């Protein structure tokens, strides 16, 4: 099988999974600026094609939001695919190195906390859901 065809399927599956979970995809720096400058809390899922994204991060992203408290906005950028959008989003994650997959929780465009790759890789989706929901408890309002 042609590598690019195979990777196209992997990328499309990863995009579809996170969108079906309820996250809005940001593919340009302009979209990132528009969305992340809004008032309120925003969870950014930095998606990727690695195994820990598919096996842990995306399932955790889907599961974490079924909770009494959650962010006002759920968005995603795709590392390695939508490079400019991802780079622009990472500018909002001040104090944190690039990490994918990862989750960034912002309020009014300012970083509150992150769940970085080292907190995802080697962990179960349930453990990551717990980390995200702990952050929701601290920073988000009831829905």
Q: Which residues are catalytic?
A: 50, 52
The 41-47 sheet, strands edge to edge: 24-25, 73-78, 41-47, 102-107, 110-115
Q: How far apart are CA 16 and CA 133, in angstroms?
A: 23
Count how many Cα atoms sit within 13 Å of the Cα of residue 78 in the half-sphere of its side chain: 20
Count how many Cα atoms sit within 13 Å of the Cα of residue 92 in the half-sphere of its side chain: 29
Residues 6+ apart with CB under 8 A from 3: none
From the list 125, 17, 138, 19, the residue with the least C-alpha distance to 63 is 125
Q: How far apart are CA 128 and CA 110, in angstroms?
A: 22
């Amino acid at each position: 099988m042609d590598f690019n065809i195979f990777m196209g399927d992997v990328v499309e599956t990863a995009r579809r999974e996170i969108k079906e979970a309820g996250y809005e995809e940001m593919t340009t720096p302009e979209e990132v600026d528009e969305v992340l400058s809004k008032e309120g809390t925003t969870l950014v899922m930095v998606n990727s094609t690695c195994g820990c994204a598919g096996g842990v991060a995306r399932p955790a992203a889907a599961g974490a939001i079924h909770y009494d408290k959650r962010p006002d906005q759920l968005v995603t950028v795709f590392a390695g695919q939508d490079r400019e959008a991802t780079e622009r989003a990472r500018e909002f994650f001040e104090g944190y190195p690039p990490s994918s997959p990862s989750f960034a929780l912002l309020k009014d465009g300012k970083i509150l906390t992150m769940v970085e790759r080292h907190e995802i890789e080697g962990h179960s989706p349930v453990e990551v859901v717990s980390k995200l929901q702990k952050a929701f408890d601290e920073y988000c309002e009831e829905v």
